Structure formats: C-alpha cells, structure tokens
Amino acid sequence: MTDKSDPGKPKLDPLLKLVLDLGPLVLFFAVYSFYDLFYATAVLMPAVVVALVVSYAITRTWPMMLVVTAVVVLVLGALTLWFHDQSFIQVKPTIVYSLLGTVLMIGYLLDKPVLAVVLDTMFHLTAEGWRKLTLRWALFFLAMALLNEAVWRTQTFDFWIRFKVFGFVPLTFVFAALQVPLMSRYAAPEDAASEDTTRAE
C-alpha cells in the first residue's frame, strides 16, 4: 500500500512527518508548563510556520492539513496575543476540525477522493475504499470539533490544555489504527492506485 506511482516525487520520512505534525503542539505544551499561555502561543506560531516550510522544502508540495492548521494558528494566535484572550486559541481546534470535516464531507457527497489531498496520505485504495474512509474521517473530525467545544466551554483552561495533548492526540491515533482493516480490505492494485492518485491531485 506504499505509494509507488511516482518514484521521483519526494516523500517525507514517517518519523519526520510525525515530528512536523506534533512538534509545534509539544512545544506549545512544554512552554505553557513553564511559563504561560501567551509565551506558549508566541512559540507555537513560528513553530507551525517552520514545520510547514520544512515540509514544503522536502516534498515541494503544500500539505493541506498543515496549511489549514498554520493559517488558523497564525490568525487566532495573533488575536490571542493582541487581545490577551485565551478563548481565541481554545477555539482553534474547533475551526480546524470543522474545516477538515466539512471539506471531507463535501468530497464524499460529490464522490471526489479528496482525502488523499487533505491528509497527504500514502495509501492506495479503490474508489469504494476512499469513499468509506472519507466518510469516516469526516464524521471523526466533526465529532472532534464538537468535543473540543464541550471541553473548553465546560472545563478549566489547564484541563483543556492537557486534554488537547493527552486526549485529542491519542484519540486520533486510535481512530487511525482502527481504519487499517478497511484500508487493507480496499487496497487498490498498483495501476489503479496510480490513476486514483492522479485524479486526487
């Protein structure tokens, strides 16, 4: 299920991709633990930009999920620092998850395999597999948006920070692992995979 349709296209090492995806969040949590939200936000903003630039420098493509995250972090981070209001950064996951869920749901309804672009995936699935996986991730992201709203509006800020790191991240990994059987069941032959990837791009 590894992408072999374009051997000349640079790929991110899985470990580096994990660092780029989670590194800014880990830095945010670490700085918050020693200082406060506003120092953490000031670190998070350039960290997300660095992750985005490094990803582009290696792959020469803009990963949609990281782009969406970077834009939202920069806008809401700036508002957090300007108004000294923590609610802007707390609503960030709601906006990111809602945007991703909405894009995927639109793709599902239009029968377009946008998941490969949104998640920068390296898997080859049949059309039916992409459709089912797209719906699952769309519903997951929308559910995560609702969960973030419930947590930050009903719990303390410290609880929200810890839940963001030790709740949202593990939930995402567990959900992704639960999709492995579906991806294995709907794995596409290499020739069909190449055609599906071209259409997705």
pLDDT per residue over 141-157, tens digit each? 999 999 999 999 999 99
Let me know the angle formed at the C-alpha of 55 by 175 and 27, rounded to the nearest 5 degrees.
65
The reply to whether the predicted model has a pTM over 0.85 is no
Query: Integer distance in angstroms from the first to the last C-alpha of the chain?
Result: 18
Q: At what angle do helices 127-154 and 92-109 cross, to 10 degrees?
A: 150
Instruction: Tell me which of 9 and 17 has the higher pLDDT.
Output: 17
Give residue 93's identity as a one-letter amino acid code.
Answer: P
The Cβ of residue 84 has, within 10 Å, a number of other Cβ atoms equal to 10
Question: CA nearest 137: which of 91, 160, 106?
Answer: 106
